[in-house]
Amino acid sequence: MNRKFSVIKINGFKGLVLAIFCVGCLIAGFLIFPGWVCMNIWNYFAGFFMQAPVMSLVHGSLLWCIIALSIYALNKGDIAISFGSASAVQPSEEKLREVFKKINENNLKNIAVLKKHLDESSLNDKSESDNNDKLLK
């Protein structure tokens, strides 16, 4: 068991209010404030051009999301987001073989159970058809 992880326990109404407050702060800090900055930058430069549209906070937040997701999608591994540990664990071939072996064993067990179930159902179908034949005679 990994002891680096901690569990957040929310008790009662105060805990729920605190959790909602934390989520609201995260949304404000990572979405609304950068959206407000994007909105103000856009509106500043839009003042230099005729017929340029003026943005609201919703449009600024959408522009920020487009910028952030584009940067994240186009990076070549220079920017990495990881939770839990500083470096990624590379699986060894030995561990992969062990995992594949367990998967194959589970598949064989499932196939055996399905065959047994199908055999039982086919026997039940035969006995039901025999009973139906006896009833008809």
Give tens-digit pLDDT for 82-125. Answer: 666 555 566 788 888 888 899 999 998 988 888 888 888 776 66
Q: Give residue 44's pLDDT.
A: 94
Pair (75, 95) in one structural domain? no
Q: Give residue 129's pLDDT.
A: 59
Query: Which residue has 């930058």 as its token pair?
Result: 41
Pair (62, 118) in one structural domain? no
CA 40 from chain center: how many Å? 33
Pair (103, 135) in one structural domain? yes
Q: Give residue 23's pLDDT.
A: 92
Pair (76, 102) in one structural domain? no
Pair (63, 111) in one structural domain? no
- The answer to whether 62 and 41 have CB atoms below 8 angstroms apart is no
Domain that holds residue 31: 1-82
Out of 56, 82, 108, pick the residue that ends a domain.
82
Pair (37, 59) in one structural domain? yes
